[in-house]
């Protein structure tokens, strides 16, 4: 699996969120994830489902620290689109990023849009109170305890 390179698209003046070109729409096959590298080093796993919905979640599996979610198995649980990590088979909702196995674990979800023939991903995730956000975890770890 390769991580797609990206080019920075023109930033919209109406919003502070930047968008990057992820890949042409025709590159995405239903159920086959694609890893996309954002300018800040985050990896995003991009999916399209058979009903042509686009989803983007963290590529980092919070259980193993491996960037493998894009290689996960897409399915659904009670109608909720999901991806199962290929490592330990933990299942996450593609719409919310929530782990359906571990209540306090979730993936960031990223806005996705189609611009002409191209799929674009926002450079910042949907806002969450995410305990497992790597950046927040790092900050807490760096602060240490007295
Ligand atoms: S830059 Fe990724 S497919 Fe064109």
Q: Over the stretch 70-124, which tens digit does the pLDDT of each residue have? A: 999 999 999 999 999 999 999 999 999 999 999 999 999 999 999 999 999 999 9
At residue 81, φ and ψ (nearest 5 deg) are -65, 135
CB of residue 5 inside a 6 A radius of ligand 1:
yes
Provide the mean pLDDT of the chain. 83
Kindly state if the Cβ of 78 falls inside 6 Å of ligand 1: no
Q: Are 82 and 76 in contact (CB under 8 A)?
A: yes
Distance 131 CA to ligand 1 centre (A): 32
CA-based end-to-end distance of the chain: 43
**Mean pLDDT, to the nearest integer, of 41-64?**
96
Ligand 1 atom closest to the CA of 4, numbered from 1: 2
Closest CA to 6 of 31, 40, 52: 40
Is 3 a pocket residue for ligand 1 (Cβ < 6 Å)? Answer: no
Residue 6 has pLDDT above 80, yes or no: no
Residue 131's pLDDT band (boundaries 50, 70, 90)? very low
Residue 33 pLDDT grade (very low, low, confident, very high; cuts 50, 70, 90): very high
Its pTM stands at 0.77
Measured by CA distance, the residue closest to atom 1 of ligand 1 is 6
76: its two tokens: 């659904």
């Amino acid at each position: 699996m390769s991580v797609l390179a990206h080019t920075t698209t023109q930033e919209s003046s109406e919003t502070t969120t930047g968008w990057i070109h992820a890949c042409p729409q025709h590159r995405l096959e239903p159920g086959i994830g694609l890893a996309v590298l954002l300018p800040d080093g985050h990896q995003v796993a991009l999916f399209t489902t058979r009903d042509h919905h686009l989803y983007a979640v963290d590529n980092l599996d919070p259980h193993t620290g491996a960037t493998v979610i894009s290689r996960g198995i897409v399915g659904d649980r009670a109608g909720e689109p999901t991806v199962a990590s290929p490592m330990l088979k933990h299942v996450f909702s593609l719409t919310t990023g929530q782990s359906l196995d571990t209540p306090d674990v979730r993936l960031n979800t990223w806005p996705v849009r189609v611009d002409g023939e191209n799929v674009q991903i926002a450079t910042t995730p949907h806002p969450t109170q995410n305990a497992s956000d790597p950046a927040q975890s790092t900050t807490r770890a760096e602060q240490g305890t007295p």
